[in-house]
Structure 1
Amino acid sequence: MVKKISIFFAYTIFFMLALMYFTPKDSIYFLLEEKLKQSDIVISFEQVEDKGFFLNIVDADISFKSISSAKINEASIIVFAIYNSVSLKGITLSTTAKSFAPLNIHKAKVIYSIFNPLNVSIEAVGEFGELEGEFNIVNSTLHLELKPSQEMLKNYQSSLRKLNKTENGEFVYDKTF
């Protein structure tokens, strides 16, 4: 009996891994790109490569309403049934954002998992400091917590005034869409 159960689990795991490996991740990416174009967000000049269990994207330029907004050096998209994530490295914002925040974001990660099905988790580290947050899918609410860097505290006070400061020195942003 134990042998039959272990064989069942082995086949199930093999099937799930094969399904994840052969999922057309580049087609999902291009579908996402088309959906973003409807909101006037265009991703261009990127190189897309399917690496088996994840999709690697290099040198992407992001434009919003035909205005260059950001450049992303590297992005990895993982699409599993129970865990999905987008990891971004080397993000440089457009110089138009210089008056609001520092331009370089070292890394950012967006995670959706069935273990927390109502929320999308957000993490980022950059010259602005460290950012953690969640987007609640049901209520369409965004909650962000910022631990600002010294540069952010020194040079971007006007941006920090729009956030609520907590007792421990962090800044919180809440928005409902």
Structure 2
Amino acid sequence: MSTAPRVPGDYSIVSDPERALKYASRHTAGDRTEIIEGVITPMSSPWAHESAAEIVRRQITPRLEQLDLVSGSGDLDLPGSENWYIPDLAVVPAELAEKTEGALLPDQTLLIVEVSSPSNAETDRVVKRRRYGQYGAPLYLLVDRQNRSCTLYSEPTRLGYAAESGPHPFGTPVHLPAPFGLDLDTTRL
């Protein structure tokens, strides 16, 4: 018996549980749902949450234009796991974003930003931090609104991240290394 080649983001053929779960999430639960450790989770962000992501986006936008990068909150697939994430903000090469109809993989990003909410803070602090590192996202910025701090994780490994800068209290600049090379003002987060 042969199976169709695996294409990230194409879950029209459901030959295994991971594919079935991701297919069901994409086609029955709606576009704004994540799968976190096998649990389909609807996404809903209050305005304060959206505002924090926008504050980061505005600060990095001039650098994105210089580097031909784009930011957004598109789908990220974590193949081989029961995870499908929609980050609050991800930065990817413009050319890659223009050519990709489905989900991207975390290692195709340059920066992922998650803003915590009371309902998801532990997921962002523990589960996503570990998974983004395991799947090769080079930089993960956690804007922890409950603890009023930012932490930047880098040096992904198969166990998570090897390096951590922070937590930095809101109001303390957070340095984003290359290719960004800028300090984020966290005063208004």
Q: Could you say whether these structures have the same fold, taking a TM-score greater than 0.5 normalized by the shorter chain as the test? A: no
Question: What is the TM-score of this pair, normalised by structure 1?
Answer: 0.34
Computing the radius of gyration over CA atoms, which structure comes out larger, 1 or 2?
1
Question: What is the TM-score of this pair, normalised by structure 2?
Answer: 0.32
Q: Which has the higher contact order (CA 8 A, sep 6+)?
A: 2
Higher strand proportion (structure 1 or 2) = 1
